[in-house]
Amino acid sequence: MKIIIVGCGKVGYTLAQQLSDEGHDITLIDTNESKLDKALSVLDVQAVTGNGTTFRTQLEAGIKDSDLLIAVTGQDEINLLCCLIAKKSGNCNTIARVRNPEYFEETDYLREELGLSMAINPEYACAHSIAKLIEIPSALDVITFAKGLVNMVQVTVPEGSPIHHMTVYEYATKIHSNTLICALERGHEVIIPDGNTLICSGDNLYIIIPTDEIHHFLSKIGIKAKPIKSVMIIGGGMIAYYLAAKLNKAHLQVKIIEQNFEHCQRLSEQLPHTMIINGDASDRQLLLEEGIEDTDAFISLTNLDEENMVLSLFANKVGNAKKVTKIDRVSFEEVIDEMPIGTIACPKNITAKSIIQYVRALENSFGSNIETLYRMLDDRVEAMEFHIRQDSKVTNTPLMELELKKNLLICAIIRGRQIITPSGKDEILNGDTVIVVTTNKGLSDIKDILA
């Protein structure tokens, strides 16, 4: 597909990199020539220096022949105007990054009036992801499928767990038959397991499980955690606002520490049920006075990656809180992975994943659409949710008779409200939702699972 990206900031660059890797023809537009030069020196993309809101610049970028324009500049109004001009001049699909809560609340109206294909809010998406982690405190990551009916949770097998040194087959028969281990990380090795794969303490497991069975399952494998009731958030930006609003609805005690007094005033008006503290979170004494030692969850969301990491390390030293750390530049994964800073939240990656999911679905608008796409374990594994819209080579045939690609697992079949943990005798039917996990990249249709 031919795709134009307006804005070469963190999100725009990440999108260009990932979409280019997937084989798309990418053209970047930005007014900052040095940013474009940097992208051109590293990525296999084209670039146009100019204002993305002008017809002339879009024409130079090839809007007439483009399939999609993605506007991800730092200003909502510019993004929306870029999409409007693209729709009128090229009649292509359009995606806008919309961060302002007032605009985002009117997404349906904007989509209809401006012809937007999609509006994405990185801060809201990041807050939603963090809220899921707080809901299930023992999980390192939570991925939602089938509109909340099924979750994939990432957990670490604790020392002394009853599943230590069990095979995946033994686990399924002795521990929990209604769940499926669909990916396993041991050190830096990623395994798509079969029945003979051995589970060891310290392994990171990605497990498909019905939402209402999660807490019972975690207890059964030796993971016990008390529910989170108090949350301390460092930084009063948009992620903090969206997250606090979600947590308030769940009746949790939320405290935000923000250095900027004007931001504090705004948050106090917007979040009447949240305690807003005006202060410098790098002040050790302030954190201790505000109860960092006793808080159940510590979420570090400042604009500085280094500060977020240091704060989470301090929280780890003085307390036992669940930690989430916002990091925008994940350049040293092997170092960060070894640090006790909890789960990493990266808004630009969440945004890129959502847009790539849409692009994959756009590539194949018939047969079976990708409803959900997640990349896990440093992008080495993809989890996809396909909605089956017509019969094909993979439907109406027992799974044992399908020749599937290597390192690929069909994790769940959702039929109406029924969740099927698939065996070799099960079949995929028209109308089903199917969850697939694989190390193979670029699947866009359910037929792609075949060898």
CATH class, domain 353-449, is alpha beta
Higher pLDDT: 147 or 159? It is 159
Average pLDDT, stretch 109-137?
A: 88
205-209, 294-298, 329-333: least confidently modelled range: 329-333
2-120 and 230-345 share one CATH topology?
A: yes
The Cα 228–Cα 230 span in angstroms is 6
Fold of the CATH domain 230-345: Rossmann fold (3.40.50)
Q: What is the pLDDT of residue 243?
A: 97
Q: 38 CB contacts (<8 Å, ≥6 apart)?
A: none
> Beta strand 93-97 with 68-71: parallel, antiparallel or unpaired?
parallel
Higher pLDDT: 46 or 351? It is 46
The pLDDT tens digits for 12-48 are 998 999 899 888 999 999 999 999 999 999 999 999 9
The pLDDT tens digits for 327-350 are 987 666 667 777 899 998 988 888
Fold of the CATH domain 2-120: Rossmann fold (3.40.50)
Q: What is the CB-side half-sphere exposure of residue 59 using CA atoms within 13 A? A: 5
Torsions phi, psi for 122 (to 5 deg): -60, -40
DSSP element (H, E) containing 275: strand 275-278
Average pLDDT, stretch 226-249?
A: 95
The pLDDT tens digits for 151-183 are 899 999 999 999 999 999 998 888 876 788 999
DSSP element (H, E) containing 170: helix 168-174
The pLDDT tens digits for 385-432 are 998 988 989 999 999 999 999 999 999 999 988 999 898 999 999 999
For residues 318 and 292, the answer to whether their CB atoms sit within 8 Å is yes
The Cα 61–Cα 24 span in angstroms is 15
Angle at 377 between CA 444 and CA 315, to 5 degrees: 140
The CATH code of the domain at 127-220 is: 3.30.70.1450
- Taking the domains of the chain in order of start, what are their residue ranges? 2-120, 127-220, 230-345, 353-449
Place of tokens 């994939």: 152
| 213 secondary structure, DSSP code | G
